[in-house]
Chains A and B, each alone.
Chain A
Amino acid sequence: MVTKPQPDASAPAGWSLLFACWLLAATATAGSLFFSSVMDLPPCVLCWYQRIALFPLVLILAVGLFPFDARVVRYALPLALAGWVVAGYHNLVYLGFIPERLQPCSQGVSCSERNLDLFGFVSIPLLSLAGFSALITLLVVLHRRSTP
């Protein structure tokens, strides 16, 4: 019997992967809101650009979960990549590799200002970069698995 790949055959494993992506995005969103709304750390311009990439992922990935639709990667990956690029740039600014005057923060909060350092080296931009990196990895793995 020649059959097309069963749509549900890889669903449980794929679903868990996608769920992990969603959980990651949701946790990152909650964390970012915690920093700004509870701890009153004002987000700088670069933080906002990363948030623009991150927040929609929570909804887009959730839509892909019910019913499970692996093609959600097509919509989620560009956002995650955009967030990753901004996060990378932000880390370079934060660490001083890109000079202060080149950064697009003309008013408000400086993007290189140190607000929080967990264990002495984990900054908010680093958390963001790690989050986007993990998200991209998971999405790519999901994509590889779901395309025969």
Chain B
Amino acid sequence: MNKQRVVFAASVVVLIGVFAIGARLFQQKKAEQLTFKAQQSFTTFVRPHSQVLGAEDAKVYLVEFTDPACETCAAFSPLVKKLMAAHPDRIKLVVRYAPFHHGSDGVVRLLHASTRQGKFWEALEVMYKSQPAWASHHQPQPELLWGFLAEAGLDIERLSKDLQSPELGKVVEQDLADARALGVDKTPGFFVNGKPLVQFGYTELEQLVQAEVAAAYPK
């Protein structure tokens, strides 16, 4: 009887151990793959149409693939600002679109159309803030956004005219293609100077940013 208990307990330990080791190995391999994919040219990370926030001469590029309808992206928005404030003039935030939610591409088109009025960051902010109202239950309804965008100071008439531009579709397609090339399959997807955030989390992002800032600005 005692022997049976030992066999059982040993099996439990072995199973959990194999699981943990397997998980570790898999994540290491994934990190290698992501890093390999990220060895792409600079243009895959920053396209001419990409919106950039931060000092002109900042050496650290924080590239974020975001979906305005993604709750975690909205939750990360203040954290990213906090990160940038912690390293003033050293970080450039580049926003890329990854509209993975069904219906998000319409929202992204709306967001990018706001750049014509120079109100991209205002539009993004209000989209994140009012997200529960227009994207509840992961079902983005771009038509509910107009009121919020007007409140944020956008000229709605001009926005609806700009929205007709065929260029917007190309921008979305390009960003989605880059997301695929870089192995981004969830949002938000972060890259710091081309290095992917493998283990997702704010602390992990903070560490990655700190490491890259330290590398770019040696004391």
A residues touching B (Cβ–Cβ < 8 Å)? 15, 19, 22-23, 26-27, 30, 33-34, 37-40, 62, 65-68
Contact = CB atoms under 8 A, between A and B. Distances in A.
A33 B19 contact: yes
Contacts, number: 36
Contacts of B8: 19, 22, 62, 65-66
Interface of B: 1, 4-5, 7-8, 11-12, 15-16, 18-19, 22-23, 26-27, 185-186
Contacts of B22: 34, 38
A34 B7 contact: no
A15 B18 contact: no
Contacts of A68: 4
Contacts of B1: 67
Nearest to A8: B1
Contacts of B27: 38
Nearest to B185: A40
A37 B22 CA distance: 12
Given A23-B11, A33-B19, A39 B26 contact: yes
Given A23-B11, A38-B26, A30 B18 contact: yes
Contacts of B18: 30
B23 A38 contact: yes
Given A19-B8, A30-B18, A37-B23, 17 more contacts: A15-B4, A19-B7, A19-B11, A22-B8, A27-B15, A30-B15, A30-B16, A34-B23, A38-B23, A39-B26, A40-B185, A40-B186, A65-B4, A66-B4, A66-B8, A67-B1, A68-B4
B5 to A, nearest CB: 7
A28 B8 CA distance: 16
A27 B185 CA distance: 28
A22 B16 CA distance: 14
Contacts of A39: 26
| 4 closest cross-chain pairs (CB), A and B | A38-B23, A30-B19, A38-B26, A30-B15
Given A23-B11, A26-B11, A39-B26, A34 B19 contact: yes
Nearest to B11: A23
B19 A66 contact: no
A23 B10 CA distance: 11
22 contacts: A19-B4, A19-B7, A19-B8, A26-B12, A26-B15, A27-B15, A30-B15, A34-B19, A37-B23, A38-B22, A38-B23, A38-B26, A38-B27, A39-B26, A40-B186, A62-B8, A65-B4, A65-B8, A66-B4, A66-B5, A67-B1, A68-B4
